[in-house]
Structure 1
Amino acid sequence: MSTVNTASSVKAEYTQKVADDLSANQSEQDRVRSELTRLQDELVQLEDSGQVLAKMQSLLGTAAKPTAKSGKKSPKVPAARTPKSKTAAAKSPKATPSSKNAAERAPRGKAAGKKAAAAQSASQSTWIELISSYLAGQSEPKSSTEIAAGVAEAHPQRGVQVTVVRNTLEQGVARGVIERSKQGRSVYYQTAPAAAESAESGKTASE
């Protein structure tokens, strides 16, 4: 009889130990799965940031080349000539094309002034204004990576950062001017219908 009781006790002890080990194993599996999901999300964010930085580097590199080339080919100003005779003095009126060239350069100066004013206006705009303006011109939702690249291309003078763009998008979602949608593990943004209608009506009124 004592032998039977001992065997039952040993069996119950092993049964409890196996149950405890199984519970600990399942808990560890849950922990590892949670950590794996977090790492995968972090990897996706890093890949998005890497793509945006690569595009920005390409854009900045392309924009820097003309500046360096123009610096090498700076025009030389010819030395002024002193007239030696009355004939040379008589020919001096033919120098008026310089004033004509100055007149031709005036419209270019105005165009440059408009570009400078537009660049200054963009530099004074808030991030939500820049991003909303970019999304308003898109026909389909865009990811934060695409939006950051588009804003960087349109406004190279602004130091576009992925984290800033992502935070601004979330602020726009909270304010109801931007809509967020999710496809699988990817998140996309677009202008909210009410904000899009407001922008369109403002554009029609200005026209």
Structure 2
Amino acid sequence: MSENTLTSTISADYAQRITDDLAANRSEQDRARAELTRLQDELIRLEEGEQILVKMQEVLGGNDRKVKPATGKGKGRKAAASVPAARRAKEKTASRKENNEPRARVRAKQRTAANGASASKGAGEPTWRELVTGYLADQREPKSAAEVAAALAEAHPQRTTQVTVVRNTLEQGVAHGLLERSKQGRSVYYSPVSSAKGDGAEAPAE
């Protein structure tokens, strides 16, 4: 075998190995991007769930009752005995009512908190859902939550605009069939549903 033939064979082997490594590298990049997108979506869902739970916790409040520590066994027993039976029964009934609060009322409080309880809103002003859907209806292309928040903050400087509140409102619009979600690369964008999709869906009342 001549030296030129040997060199050509080695070069071909290296070229094939580089081609295989490049294909494997690109495949691994695709896998990593897909995993990153999944993790980003999961993080968004977790953040939204955290916001809703925090608002529910603020609305529902706690049931903790502070009890003054007794300085001695005898004094503690006398303090407990001095509480009227009627008062203890009343507190027990109130606690039972709090624990048995209807689910519909809890869900109503949850919706109120999730719709932007942390943002200031005067009487007669449009809701966040109205602002978000109205803004997107005038756009020719989908917008991200950050873009929507920036536009609303500029259009309504008197109101406190938070990206988290806007994102929650956008996700609620998607859940109620008013908006649709799309992805462009790693970003999530929102736009109004087309008329063909929107005719068959009735948006629930606020």
**Which TM-score band applies after superposition, normalised by the shorter structure?**
0.3 to 0.5
> TM-score, normalised to structure 2's length?
0.41
> TM-score, normalised to structure 1's length?
0.41
Of structures 1 and 2, the larger Rg is shown by 1
